[in-house]
Chains A and B, each alone.
Chain A
Amino acid sequence: MLLKVENLSVSYGRIPALTGLDFHIDEGEIVSIIGANGAGKSTTLRAISRMVKVEPGSKMTFMDKDLLKYPPDKVVSQLGITHVPEGRGIFGNLTVKENLHLSAFARKDAAEVKKDISRVFDIFPRLKERYTQKSGTLSGGEQQMLAIGRAFISGRKIMLLDEPSMGLAPLLMQNVFKALKEINKEGAAILLVEQNARLALQFASRAYVLETGSLVMEGDSKKLLEDPEVKKAYLGG
């Protein structure tokens, strides 16, 4: 088991956002969490990447290590968990090149970094054309590619993706998901969070349904696609 989450609870101030989540992800797996606005999808990812404090009693184990012992930057650099946050988190004042290099900040293997960057260019040739451009001037889709490219470089045991389809035209979206499949084939597990439930369920092999801070369903994503309740609530009937 790659990532095991037990009894995960998170509150913002006094307001609980997640209450006792249990889920897991296996090596190389693609898992999705679907849910409505405000269900707590982004919060779940933030908890794993240690961006938010978790409540006492929460437990997260990553490759048999206690995740909660690692500060946020070490979660990335030592465990290889990368998080593409909601809204992409591009540094608009930095060039594409600088954004990519920043994601290699903690890496000491310069030669490998170079290879990874050219691999990113293979996957997203558009980024190569924009290499020296300020990333704030990239289109939304290009920014999404850059965000995924950065995650690819900073470590890739598992990628936490927060709504990568957001704001992308259908064709571009297909390209992005094809690229993600490729990255997955090279060994990275993926935890995908999506409001676009159909897309997420088609992409993932397994899925969880999150409702106001609790997981209410889990299973094979093909089965969930056929589930009458999921259909009614998330797939538009």
Chain B
Amino acid sequence: MTVFFQSLVNALQWGSFYALIALGYSMVYGVLMLFNFAHGDVFMVGAYISFIVATALTALAAAGTIAIPGWVVLLLTIVCAMMLNAIVGIIIERVGYRPLREAPRASAAITGLMIGIILETGVLAIMGAQRAKFPSLIQSVTYDVGGVFITNKKIMIVLVSIVLMLALDQFVKKTKWGMAMRAMAFDYTVVPLMGVPANVIAALTFAIGSGLAASAGCLFGVAYPVLDPYMGIVFGWKAFVAAILGGRGSILGATLAGFLLGFIEIFVALIFPSTMRDFIAYSIILLILTFRPHGFFGEPHSARLRL
């Protein structure tokens, strides 16, 4: 039983990463009918931006006379990284995807792959081949809850993720910007007729998705402090799976599917040798998709919409 709960805790942490990345995938897909295949690398860039911001802030705090508590630095890092990565997302939309609005969807997909390669090699060129070591911002504290070990970092990661997801949910449901995003997901062509600048909504969607990816990148760096320029690839594919599994553009779906992925992976690894983890985990997901081809919350939607 303690093994079960221990795994549950770990699964929640992994699920948070997947869900945060999957949300960006899903939103861009929902609003713009576009798979941003560079999204895993956007997560990676977010992790590196967090690394740079965290390193700078730590140095600043060390140089200053007043001590800034670690968790304040962490919060500042998350906020800065999200904003900076949002700008990265806006640039990707503007330079990479907007010129392809009228192009076949395959061109956009290939553009995504190319943007991904550019981001990977760009980070490699700027940061060098050695892995980046994420500064330790908060002291790790482990709590023993009836034999289950929970660290303060894991609690923080899951809490921050949930707060961000709830904030996103409220934004999309309650604000006029969120309303415009939902309208765009339904029928792209009519949105400008309402006086809504569709380009701004497209940019906003990318900004939010990239910001969430940066938060995942920062949280990942806190949990696993070693970064490399190719870390986003596998995460990207898995988050893509979660986005599809959740259903087109569904925030709740992407969140749940992200956590489900975390659970399946961790629990498969509990039973089977770790070399077989993804093989079995993704076979299970493939099976789920055969029964629910539109994912959990996706409606069989005609593909009349275009970016």
Q: A residues bordering B, Cβ < 8 Å?
A: 49-51, 71-74, 76-77, 82-83, 85, 89, 91-94, 98, 101-107, 150, 154-155
In residues 15-66 of chain B, which contact A (Cβ within 8 Å)? none
* A73-B192, A89-B190, A91-B190 given; A102·B197 CB < 8 A: no
The answer to whether B187 and A106 have CB atoms under 8 Å apart is no
The docked-state distance in angstroms from the alpha carbon of A104 to that of B197 is: 12
Q: Kindly provide the distance from the CB of A74 to the nearest chain B CB, expressed in whole angstroms.
A: 8
A interface SS class = loop
The answer to whether A103 and B195 have CB atoms under 8 Å apart is yes
The answer to whether A102 and B183 have CB atoms under 8 Å apart is yes
The docked-state distance in angstroms from the alpha carbon of A71 to that of B186 is: 21
The answer to whether A73 and B186 have CB atoms under 8 Å apart is no
Give every chain A residue within 8 A of B195 (Cβ-Cβ): 73, 76-77, 103-107, 154-155
Q: Kindly provide the distance from the CB of B71 to the nearest chain A CB, expressed in whole angstroms.
A: 39
In residues 173-214 of chain B, which contact A (Cβ within 8 Å)? 176, 179-180, 182-183, 185-187, 189-190, 192-198
Give every chain B residue within 8 A of A106 (Cβ-Cβ): 195-197
Give every chain B residue within 8 A of A49 (Cβ-Cβ): 192-193
B interface SS class = helix
> Number of contacting residues on B, CB 8 A?
17
Q: Kindly provide the distance from the CB of B137 to the nearest chain A CB, expressed in whole angstroms.
A: 40
Give every chain B residue within 8 A of A154 (Cβ-Cβ): 193-195
Q: Kindly provide the distance from the CB of B82 to the nearest chain A CB, expressed in whole angstroms.
A: 25
Nearest A residue to B190, CB-CB: A89
* A101-B179, A102-B176 given; A93·B194 CB < 8 A: no
Nearest A residue to B173, CB-CB: A98
**Complex partner residue of A102 from B179, B185, B189, CB under 8 angstroms:** B179
The docked-state distance in angstroms from the alpha carbon of A37 to that of B2 is: 71
Give every chain A residue within 8 A of B179 (Cβ-Cβ): 94, 98, 101-102
The docked-state distance in angstroms from the alpha carbon of A51 to that of B187 is: 13
The docked-state distance in angstroms from the alpha carbon of A102 to that of B182 is: 10
The docked-state distance in angstroms from the alpha carbon of A77 to that of B183 is: 17
Nearest A residue to B185, CB-CB: A93
* A51-B189, A101-B176, A102-B176 given; A150·B194 CB < 8 A: yes
Interface centre among B189, B195, B196, B198 (most CB of A within 10 A): B195
* A51-B189, A85-B190, A101-B176 given; A93·B196 CB < 8 A: no
